[in-house]
Structures are given as C-alpha cells and as structure tokens.
C-alpha cells in the first residue's frame, strides 16, 4: 500500500469521527457513539456500550472481490473483550489475513 492509499483511509476515519462528534453533540444520546479504525488498513468501526462491560460494534471492512470493490458490514454484540476479538478476527479473515472462521 502506498502513502496516497494510506491517506485516503486516514481521511475516511477522520470523516467518520467528525460525523460522530457532530451526532453526539446534536443528539446528546444517553449512550454516545464512538469510532475506531486501522490507520494502515481498511476497517472502520462504530461502537457503543449499552451496559457496563458490554459493547455493540458495527464493523465495516473495505474489500475488493473479483475486481469489484465493496464494503462488508457486520454487527457484533456482547462482553467487551470477547466481542472486540470476534470483530477483529472476522475483519482479518475478510481482508485475507487469516482463514475465515
């Protein structure tokens, strides 16, 4: 991956964070949304904690399959540590970094 591609991915994470900051400011939800991502990768996450020790993650992964680009989206919910690991394993398998589970 070249520096230009990394810049686009960083821009995507910045745009998502600005949108979330604006949403949290305007909507003032009881449970604010947060974001995450991978600076050198193709992943973005929306997340919130519905209860202590729990997390809900909407994980997005940019992929290229058969010459076509797309965004895969999957929701994960449960205990924070286990849910984050499950989301990471899924994303890595979608990006070809590990076998699909």
Q: What is the pLDDT of residues 60-74, one digit of tens each?
A: 888 888 888 888 899
The band of 56, judged by pLDDT with boundaries at 50, 70 and 90, is very high
Q: What is the pTM of this model?
A: 0.72
Asked whether 45 and 30 are in contact (CB, 8 A), the reply is: no
- Of 76, 69, 86, 84, the C-alpha closest to 8 is 69
- Of 14, 33, 12, the C-alpha closest to 23 is 33
What per-residue confidence (pLDDT) applies to 41?
A: 58
- 75-97 pLDDT tens trace: 999 999 999 999 999 988 988 87
Token code pair at residue 70: 């797309």
Q: Is 35 helix (H, G, I), strand (E, B) or coil?
A: strand
For 58, phi and psi rounded to 5 degrees?
Answer: -105, 105
What per-residue confidence (pLDDT) applies to 62?
A: 83
Is residue 57 scored above 90 in pLDDT?
Answer: yes
What per-residue confidence (pLDDT) applies to 99?
A: 66
Is residue 42 scored above 60 in pLDDT?
Answer: yes
DSSP 47-87: EE-SSTTEEEEEEEEEEEETTEEEEEEEEEEEEHHHHHHHH
Q: Is 90 helix (H, G, I), strand (E, B) or coil?
A: helix
């Amino acid at each position: 991956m070249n520096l230009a591609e990394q810049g686009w991915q960083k821009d995507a994470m910045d745009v998502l964070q600005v949108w979330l900051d604006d949403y949290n400011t305007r909507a003032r939800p009881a449970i604010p949304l947060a974001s995450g991502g991978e600076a050198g990768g193709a992943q973005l996450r929306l997340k919130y904690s519905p209860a202590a020790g729990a997390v809900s993650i909407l994980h997005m992964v940019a992929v290229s399959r058969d010459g076509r680009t797309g965004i895969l989206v999957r929701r994960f919910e449960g205990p924070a540590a286990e849910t984050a690991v499950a989301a990471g394993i899924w994303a890595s398998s979608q990006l070809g970094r590990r076998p699909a589970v």
